[in-house]
Chains A and B, each alone.
Chain A
């Protein structure tokens, strides 16, 4: 069983479209994250949720909106896609609500988004 899964694996779309990436974890973890990896492989946190509560919201355009229907799912919705949004997006989860700064984060396989 995949611990952290993401769909789709690849997403190719036109500028201006709206798209969503889904993430699910079956580890029973309390905290979930979204990261963006750019073309130079630099990784940056975007959002973090704990039990459906937003706890990290980095400086990202408000076209990006995370949604957490329950603690096992954290989806990423992107409006009005731009060329610069092309990247690999990783979902991750970690076990605890408190003391999470020492917890291992478990990453999904990534979603490669290409905006044409």
Chain B
């Protein structure tokens, strides 16, 4: 069965500092992986996704993530945090070949950006 673990429920960085949000997955087959962001009182929107093409994936708003099979990780990074990046971030996995579109989410990481 697939699962996702996000290390650190709360991450705080200073404006301009590196953002690193950690995601590890468990899957019996090479998974598809997603990062979604949820701004306060809004729905989720996709930041980026890995669907077995390039292992380094670039997304919106300067975010990127690297799929590392050996480490079963898909960590999200951004070189320089902006105040507007403060939000809840979710890593999710879907099952190849299942054709249901079922996403299994991690527990989320709250990103705080300090001025």
Contacts and interface: CB of A to CB of B under 8 A. Distances in A.
The contact size tier of chain A is 20 to 34
Nearest to B90: A43
A40 B107 contact: yes
Interface string B20-51: 00000000000010101010011111100101
Interface stretch (B11-19, B70-78, B96-104): B96-104
Interface string B82-115: 0000001010001111111111110110000000
A110 B43 contact: yes
A107 interface: yes
Nearest to B31: A101
A33 B107 CA distance: 19
Contact of B107 (A4, A42, A56, A98): A42
B100 A41 contact: no
A107 B100 contact: no
Contact of A56 (B46, B49, B102, B105): B102
Nearest to B98: A101
B90 A102 contact: no
A101 B97 contact: yes
Given A43-B90, A102-B49, A94 B43 contact: no
Contacts of A34: none
Given A4-B43, A90-B44, A105 B103 contact: yes
B43 A107 contact: yes
Contacts of A94: 101
Kindly name the residue among A4, A45, A101 whose own CB sees the greatest number of chain B CB atoms within 10 A: A101
Contacts of A63: none
Interface of A: 4, 31, 33, 40-45, 48, 55-56, 90, 92, 94, 98-110
30 contacts: A40-B107, A41-B88, A42-B107, A42-B108, A43-B90, A44-B105, A45-B103, A45-B104, A48-B100, A48-B101, A55-B100, A55-B101, A56-B100, A56-B102, A90-B43, A90-B44, A100-B99, A101-B94, A101-B96, A101-B101, A102-B49, A102-B51, A102-B94, A104-B34, A105-B46, A105-B103, A107-B43, A107-B45, A109-B43, A110-B41
